[in-house]
């Protein structure tokens, strides 16, 4: 069974996520990937990854991912959070992080943890 993961990034972190995903493209091909709107567009346009795009985070994409976590349909969350900017949809971001924590979903918030979580998930696939 293919494991499902989500790739999400705040605006100031999208370049870092794309850069990381580029370096891990071969590993990412083992997963069914979901992403919020703009992030998904970047991953498709820049890397030609097969990505299922959800709504933009502030327009419900974060909530869609939270629902996937609550329904045990998401095996990992990669959310490159901008720690220096206030987000108008901060409540949605906190809810998503809270659900990932509550349901023990592997989660990464930067390149270092993303690599560690991805390596863990790839190891589970073998």
Catalytic residues: 62
Q: What angle do CA 79, 44, 64 make, to 5 degrees?
A: 45
As a whole number of angstroms, the distance between CA 91 and CA 74 comes to 20
Closest by Cα among 54, 52, 48 to 96 = 54
Strands of 1-126 (E only): list them. 4-9, 32-35, 51-53, 76-80, 107-108
């Amino acid at each position: 069974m293919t494991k499902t993961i989500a790739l999400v990034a705040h605006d100031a972190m999208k370049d870092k996520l794309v850069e990381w995903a580029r370096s891990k493209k071969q590993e990412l091909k083992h997963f069914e990937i979901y992403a919020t709107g703009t992030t998904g567009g970047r991953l498709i346009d820049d890397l030609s990854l097969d990505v299922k795009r959800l709504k933009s985070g502030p327009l419900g994409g974060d909530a869609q991912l939270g629902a996937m976590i609550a329904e045990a349909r998401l095996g990992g969350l990669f959310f490159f959070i901008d720690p220096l900017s206030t987000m108008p949809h901060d409540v949605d971001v906190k809810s998503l992080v809270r659900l990932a924590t509550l349901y023990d979903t592997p989660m990464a918030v930067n390149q270092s943890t993303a690599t560690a979580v991805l390596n863990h998930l790839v190891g589970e696939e073998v």
